[in-house]
Homo-oligomer: A and B are copies of this chain.
Amino acid sequence: MSFKPLSPQKSDIQYHLASRKKDKIRSDIIVGTGDNKVIINDENLTIIAGPCSLESRDDSVALAKTLKICGANIFRGMIFKPRSSPYSFQGVGKTGIETIKAIKSEVDIPIVSEARNESEADVIAENCDLLQIGTRNMTNYQLLEYIGRLNIPILLKRGMGSTIEEWLCAAEYILNQGNQRVILCERGIRTFETATRFTLDIAAIPLVKELSHLPVIIDPSHASGKRSLVPPLSIAGVGAGANGIMIEVHNKPESAFSDAQQTVSVETFSELVKLAKIVSKTIKFQ
């Protein structure tokens, strides 16, 4: 008779996590090149912002300029969108590459974009600065191994139904192929609560920093699914020690192609960045 949860052999992953943690400090992960490159570490608060999915060329360039002025370090340039339904908007696709090039040449800000398979990963690795693996592909281990051999930093979102241990194991699939530039992103887990879209697991931030040497950011937009909750959750994340925040922002939030309800305005974003940076400094200098 036993109430103990059943779990796969844990010794290996714990051994690897501990040895990576002991051997390394939380190393700088550099995203982008040149003057506007971003160094992700415990000294800086990284701000990632942009629309849920990339829309028209001109609107995107204009938004990227504005967000950079407001304090964004990395722009969300999502062109491939994994969607629960095959009948939902799936992103602008490869035609968005021209928009990404335009943003890079006209605004000079690093760009993060998501890939759903190997060929999309090649496209992103060639044209962007940070490759996102979304929540639905955290357990797509063959894709993780593939990107573990690419030369681009990875933003690894937590699976919405995955434990912290499984998330760290997923990071190992990338790390043990050679790519050491992995950034974790907590984006909310599935729970019984329906008042928010997901439940942001705020304790995951200090816990993964305790267990591993990898930096971790939060995505309060997808976690909450509710515009008004994005600023308080962002500040909470900074308070819990997150190395960065990723926010969905749109010039006209209500008319965003996807996830309009969780997208904040530029004004709200600007205010929340100011506050997040002050809180981040307050914590570091105490």
Distance in Å: Cβ of A95 to nearest Cβ of chain B: 18
Give residues 144-194 of A contacting B (CB, 8 Å). 145, 159-166, 169-170, 172-173, 176, 189-194
User: Which of A23-31, A61-69, A124-132, A206-214 contacts its partner?
Assistant: A206-214
Distance in Å: Cβ of A60 to nearest Cβ of chain B: 23
User: Residues of B contacting A172 with CB < 8 Å?
Assistant: 85-87
A195 near B86: Cβ-Cβ < 8 Å: no
A86 near B224: Cβ-Cβ < 8 Å: no
CA distance A137 to B140 in the complex (A): 6
User: Residues of B contacting A56 with CB < 8 Å?
Assistant: none
User: Residues of B contacting A96 with CB < 8 Å?
Assistant: none
Report copies per complex: 4
The answer, yes or no, to whether A253 is at the interface (CB within 8 Å) is: no
Which of B88, B136, B205 makes the CB contact (< 8 A) with A232?
B205
Distance in Å: Cβ of A167 to nearest Cβ of chain B: 10
- A-B CB contact pairs (8 Å), 25 listed: A3-B7, A5-B195, A6-B197, A6-B225, A84-B139, A84-B165, A116-B140, A116-B141, A137-B139, A140-B140, A161-B162, A163-B192, A163-B193, A189-B192, A190-B192, A199-B199, A199-B201, A202-B233, A206-B229, A207-B229, A232-B239, A233-B240, A235-B239, A239-B240, A274-B286
